Structure 1
Amino acid sequence: MIRTKSWAIFSLAMAWLMMSLQVQARNLPEFTELVEENADAVVNISTKNNQEDRSMNGMPSLPPGMEIPEGTPFDDFFKRFFGQPGQPQPPQANSLGSGFVLSEDGFILTNHHVIKDADEIVVRFSDRTELTAELLGSDERSDVALLKVDPQGLNLKAVKLGDSMDMKVGEWVLAIGSPFGFDYSATAGIVSALGRSLPSDSYVPFIQTDVAINPGNSGGPLFNLDGEVIGINSQIYSRTGGFMGLSFAIPMDVVMNVVDQIKDQGYVSRGWLGVVIQDVTRELAESFGLRKPRGALVSRVVPDSPAAKAGFEAGDIILTFDGKTVETSSDLPPIVGRTAVGQKTTVEIMRQNKRQSIAVVIEELPEDEQLAAVGQSNKMTGRFTDDRLAVEVIDLTAEQRKQAEVEGGVIVFKLESGPVAKAGIQQQDIILSLNNVKIESAEQFVEIAEALPAGKSVPVLVQRNGAAQFLAIRIPD
């Protein structure tokens, strides 16, 4: 009787387990229909570079009078290994990527890096039809390129566009592309994060996924479960060159903004504020009077920039821009970049523990935004030491200030183990302000340092290799 009862309980448990597994299996997404409906809209893109006319496959022609006589052993050798002298070489395939049909009249999207420096762009469709594409425009900062082909009577299949702003972390997504040249490969995963900022692409809030993306997937579409394109696969994080679980796609709202500008004006312009920013750490938040880390901390205002004209100062913490909340420093560049050139915008900041609003007129982002490097010089002027901070500082010469593009500041000449070193300050750093007081000389620096309160973090603005940043100094009790 006991065995019968135990067996019945075991059978019920197994039945419950099998039913649960079946329910979970039914809840997993089904991608077959999505792939069947959209594969024809995905294209393979290859580029060709027309090499210059060279005599020996990249080797320069011999000078006049130095030609190799025909029929000699040397003539046979050069023909065998370098080709016919003076004969132009055929175009060479240079890159391979993916793309997708944006509209039935022949507009196609891909990445800028897929078609960069191409002399000829060839688009191959799912039926193996190949068409030469015209490059209408591309944008290196967003890595988006817009192509146009003549459909020539072909019935092109276009994708449906989705709203990347509606995406949520954890949603299923699907990519179709040509990894390593394997056409129309489909890979799936989930959205891992939204609004990712990468060091080389601060103006794009990337969609991070764990979809398997490899070389050749670049420029291909990222679909949601409704079969809508919500991004263009652009980059991977990898230590090996292959997929490692971190893939990044350009959101379609960013892409379509680029497309509209290329169609309207032939190029892409972005808004520019003209500040160098950094994240607010816990220590810096305390030193600036914030209850928690938030916002974008201005470490430098570019001279003659919109921010300089509006009255921004180093030490301002940008909390909102044009009504949009700035939680971290990476939030700000995409917001500013999408702001129309010439638009007057209200920015809410925290300055000296007080909130205030600044009106600024946005200008166009310059092509090459450069910060001057810090000049090095052995010539010393004023030289002072503060034992409590364990640091020795010297005045900058007029030449050094000109090279560094600073008006005041002192150079860290020597430091020992103490509050300054623990804050991350290094030798040759230029200290521009201490506890929100602008530093004019080494003597003044020591006077301000002596009055710093113990047991409290205070901000210090330093410039290193042309880049300014805030650090927090805490003097022990």
Structure 2
Amino acid sequence: MSDTKKPNTTKTILRTGTIAGLAALLMAGTVPAMLTPAHAEAVNVQAPQVPSFADLVSAVSPAVVSIRVKSDVQQASDDGSSFSFNGRDLDQLPDPLKRFFKEWGMPGQGGRGGPDRHPHAERHGKLRPVAQGSGFFISEDGYLVTNNHVVSDGQAYTVVMNDGTEYDAKLVGKDQRTDLAVLKVDAPKKKFTYVNWADDSKVRVGDWVVAVGNPFGLGGTVTSGIVSAFGRDIGSGPYDDYIQIDAPVNRGNSGGPDFNLNGQVVGINTAIFSPSGGSVGIAFAIPASTAKSVVNELIKHGEVKRGWLGVQIQPVSKDIAESLGLADAKGALVAEPQAGSPGEKAGIKQGDVITAVNGDPVKDPRDLAKRIAGFAPGTQVDVSLWRDGASKSVKVDLGNLPAAKDMASNDSDQSQSDNAGPATEKALANLGITVKPSEDGKGLEITNVDQNSDAADKGLKVGQTITSVNNQDVAKADDVTKIIDQAKKSGRTRALFQIQTDNGSRFVALPISQG
């Protein structure tokens, strides 16, 4: 017998079968599970690349600072009992609100993002932290811009750089009407990184903006968004002309800049709309063009001097325009010239509509206020008026706009005669009001208003006084009837009523076409 080994026929058949099977599987396009790679590859999505703000933020951040404000004002009690919110003491609020307001203080006035009460006020020493906000350098020698409402109550100011370096600053000037202020850091050996103003006339709705600031005292926080709208009037003053942005802005961002993609300042954060106190994506910024001119004045003079006309004005609605025979609802209706003001001295009267200044048309009261404020005190301007159905003009030597606190005290008290006139009531059914002669004999007191009438819709209330109709004084109901009849004969469908209220005088156009 031979010693040669015989091949294992079974194994050979299995190997042959396996190879044949693999060949069949490969030809069929399938791979057994046992041949799957042991390690799967990481997910790698080739998505479109979104532009980064990192280079922009790196460049501008050294110019943006946090501002700490100190004062010797009396510190609130530990339990916050001196605060109130919607008429409720702090200890009456729900626990979440109570904790929030104890930490951060009560909300700033006027819906603003500040002044932001410092969360950790000192308990000892004369000067205590009272507010904090944001700001930015506009020159290498240390001039920086912030909000007036951030620094207005302060006596000492500390500027904190993005690297944590602190400098003392002094107040150069502030302007309440535009909510701007300028501080100065004196550091002769230091050249500060600073930023320039953008040309906001070239900014469009939808453009990117990047906000850098100090929300809730965190410092160096960056948010982004777009320009949402221009020309927003939020009722904070006669020069409201804000840029609306949707970048998240919170308490402490006040005074901080909004940059375009070139690193230029488009606007300065000054207010937020927020039912909750936090960002809801609606913030308001002072336009760069406004800020630039005001800041230059503050640096030069420490204050802003504006021209002053001295008249109370209101918008010209379509109804008012029709009642006065104006073709367009434009201009500013003079509700009352202030006694001794430049406007009164020049002959501007109640019921006049200011239609132009130096030949430039006036769109509305806000436009007029900005135009007059743009002139230096002492400038003579040509004011175009619409009076008694015709155009005329007067020359006005503008005065110096009084400080806001002085303007608030200019309201004159209305004297009343001790001799009461007849109290016979007469109904003016067409207008939906009932009147009687005023006790001082000047005008007609409203004694009843039909709540379904145009008069009620226009805000007329019991106790208010009608002093004139179509710029003619009235003392009895018959006077109103005669004036309305004259207006009807002239083809008018509305009459202009001057209404005296506790808050001053205003004009209302009421329909007279019926009856």
Q: Above 0.5 in TM-score? A: yes
Number of the residue aligned with 1:427: 462
Number of the residue aligned with 1:465: 502
TM-fit CA distance, 1:418: 4.6
Structure 2 distance, partners of 1:410, 1:445, is 9
User: Are the counterparts in 2 of residues 374 and 464 from structure 1 also a CA contact under 8 Å?
Assistant: no
Number of the residue aligned with 1:437: 472
May I ask how many residue pairs the two structures share in their alignment? 416
Structure 1 residues 51, 275: CA separation in 2 closer, same or farther (over 3 Å shift)?
closer
User: Are the counterparts in 2 of residues 204 and 254 from structure 1 also a CA contact under 8 Å?
Assistant: no
TM-fit CA distance, 1:450: 5.1
Structure 1 residues 384, 435: CA separation in 2 closer, same or farther (over 3 Å shift)?
farther
Pairing of 1:158-169 with structure 2 (within 5 A): 158-169=194-205
Number of the residue aligned with 1:300: 336
TM-fit CA distance, 1:441: 4.6
TM-fit CA distance, 1:270: 1.8
Select between 148-157 and 127-136 the one with higher mean Cα deviation.
Answer: 148-157
User: Are the counterparts in 1 of residues 354 and 384 from structure 2 also a CA contact under 8 Å?
Assistant: yes
**Residue identity matched to 1:46:** R
TM-fit CA distance, 1:433: 1.7
Structure 1 residues 123, 418: CA separation in 2 closer, same or farther (over 3 Å shift)?
closer
Number of the residue aligned with 2:132: 96
Q: TM-score normalised to the size of structure 1? A: 0.79
3-state SS of 2:60 partner: helix
Select between 341-350 and 452-461 the one with higher mean Cα deviation.
Answer: 452-461
**Residue identity matched to 1:242:** G
**Residue identity matched to 1:44:** S
Structure 2 distance, partners of 1:130, 1:285, is 58
**Residue identity matched to 1:466:** N
User: Are the counterparts in 2 of residues 49 and 92 from structure 1 also a CA contact under 8 Å?
Assistant: yes
Alpha carbon RMSD of aligned pairs, Å?
A: 3.0
User: Are the counterparts in 1 of residues 66 and 214 from structure 2 also a CA contact under 8 Å?
Assistant: yes
User: Are the counterparts in 1 of residues 208 and 226 from structure 2 also a CA contact under 8 Å?
Assistant: yes
Out of 212, 222, 242, the residue aligned to residue 278 of structure 2 is 242
User: Is residue 262 of structure 1 aligned with residue 313 of structure 2?
Assistant: no
Number of the residue aligned with 1:336: 372
**Residue identity matched to 2:411:** L
Q: 1:243-291 CA distances to partner (integer Å, 9 max, x unpaired)?
A: 2232111223322332232233332222211111112222222222234
Q: 1:336-356 CA distances to partner (integer Å, 9 max, x unpaired)?
A: 222211111122232233333
Structure 1 distance, partners of 2:471, 2:151, is 48
User: Is residue 346 of structure 1 aligned with residue 382 of structure 2?
Assistant: yes
3-state SS of 1:198 partner: coil
Number of the residue aligned with 1:214: 250
**Residue identity matched to 2:393:** S
TM-fit CA distance, 1:189: 2.2
TM-fit CA distance, 1:301: 1.4
TM-fit CA distance, 1:221: 1.0
- Stretches of structure 2 that go unaligned for 5 or more consecutive residues are 1-45, 79-122
Q: 1:186-209 CA distances to partner (integer Å, 9 max, x unpaired)?
A: 222222332333322222422222
Select between 324-333 and 33-42 the one with higher mean Cα deviation.
Answer: 324-333
User: Is residue 448 of structure 1 aligned with residue 483 of structure 2?
Assistant: yes
3-state SS of 2:239 partner: strand
Structure 1 residues 290, 166: CA separation in 2 closer, same or farther (over 3 Å shift)?
farther
Structure 1 residues 190, 319: CA separation in 2 closer, same or farther (over 3 Å shift)?
farther
Out of 61, 67, 71, the residue aligned to residue 39 of structure 1 is 61
3-state SS of 1:213 partner: coil
Number of the residue aligned with 2:227: 191
Structure 1 residues 307, 100: CA separation in 2 closer, same or farther (over 3 Å shift)?
same
TM-fit CA distance, 1:43: 0.5
Structure 2 distance, partners of 1:377, 1:30, is 72
Structure 2 distance, partners of 1:429, 1:394, is 11
Structure 1 distance, partners of 2:454, 2:420, is 24
Structure 1 residues 321, 169: CA separation in 2 closer, same or farther (over 3 Å shift)?
farther
**Equivalent pairs: percent with the same residue?**
35
User: Are the counterparts in 2 of residues 372 and 466 from structure 1 also a CA contact under 8 Å?
Assistant: no
3-state SS of 1:203 partner: coil
Out of 336, 343, 362, the residue aligned to residue 326 of structure 1 is 362
Out of 372, 389, 412, the residue aligned to residue 372 of structure 1 is 412
Out of 282, 285, 296, the residue aligned to residue 318 of structure 2 is 282
Structure 2 distance, partners of 1:51, 1:432, is 46
Number of the residue aligned with 1:73: none
User: Are the counterparts in 2 of residues 345 and 362 from structure 1 also a CA contact under 8 Å?
Assistant: yes
Structure 1 residues 337, 197: CA separation in 2 closer, same or farther (over 3 Å shift)?
farther
TM-fit CA distance, 1:223: 1.6
Structure 1 distance, partners of 2:446, 2:418, is 13
Number of the residue aligned with 1:181: 217
3-state SS of 1:257 partner: helix
Structure 1 distance, partners of 2:457, 2:250, is 42
Structure 1 residues 360, 40: CA separation in 2 closer, same or farther (over 3 Å shift)?
same
Select between 303-312 and 102-111 the one with higher mean Cα deviation.
Answer: 303-312
3-state SS of 1:190 partner: strand
Out of 55, 63, 70, the residue aligned to residue 48 of structure 1 is 70
User: Are the counterparts in 1 of residues 310 and 337 from structure 2 also a CA contact under 8 Å?
Assistant: yes
Q: 1:27-49 CA distances to partner (integer Å, 9 max, x unpaired)?
A: x7653322121111001111122
User: Is residue 392 of structure 1 aligned with residue 472 of structure 2?
Assistant: no
3-state SS of 2:193 partner: coil
Structure 1 residues 125, 460: CA separation in 2 closer, same or farther (over 3 Å shift)?
same
**Residue identity matched to 2:479:** Q
User: Are the counterparts in 1 of residues 323 and 492 from structure 2 also a CA contact under 8 Å?
Assistant: no
Structure 2 distance, partners of 1:295, 1:455, is 20
Structure 1 distance, partners of 2:464, 2:285, is 37
**Residue identity matched to 2:67:** I
**Residue identity matched to 1:45:** I
Structure 1 distance, partners of 2:418, 2:234, is 37
Structure 1 residues 358, 34: CA separation in 2 closer, same or farther (over 3 Å shift)?
farther
Structure 1 residues 361, 90: CA separation in 2 closer, same or farther (over 3 Å shift)?
closer
Structure 1 distance, partners of 2:126, 2:347, is 58
Structure 2 distance, partners of 1:464, 1:293, is 24
Number of the residue aligned with 2:147: 111
User: Are the counterparts in 2 of residues 380 and 394 from structure 1 also a CA contact under 8 Å?
Assistant: no
Number of the residue aligned with 2:259: 223
User: Are the counterparts in 2 of residues 374 and 466 from structure 1 also a CA contact under 8 Å?
Assistant: no
Out of 221, 233, 246, the residue aligned to residue 269 of structure 2 is 233
Structure 1 residues 96, 187: CA separation in 2 closer, same or farther (over 3 Å shift)?
same
3-state SS of 1:308 partner: helix
3-state SS of 1:195 partner: strand
Structure 1 residues 460, 104: CA separation in 2 closer, same or farther (over 3 Å shift)?
same
User: Are the counterparts in 2 of residues 269 and 365 from structure 1 also a CA contact under 8 Å?
Assistant: yes
Higher alpha-carbon Rg: 2
TM-fit CA distance, 1:335: 2.0
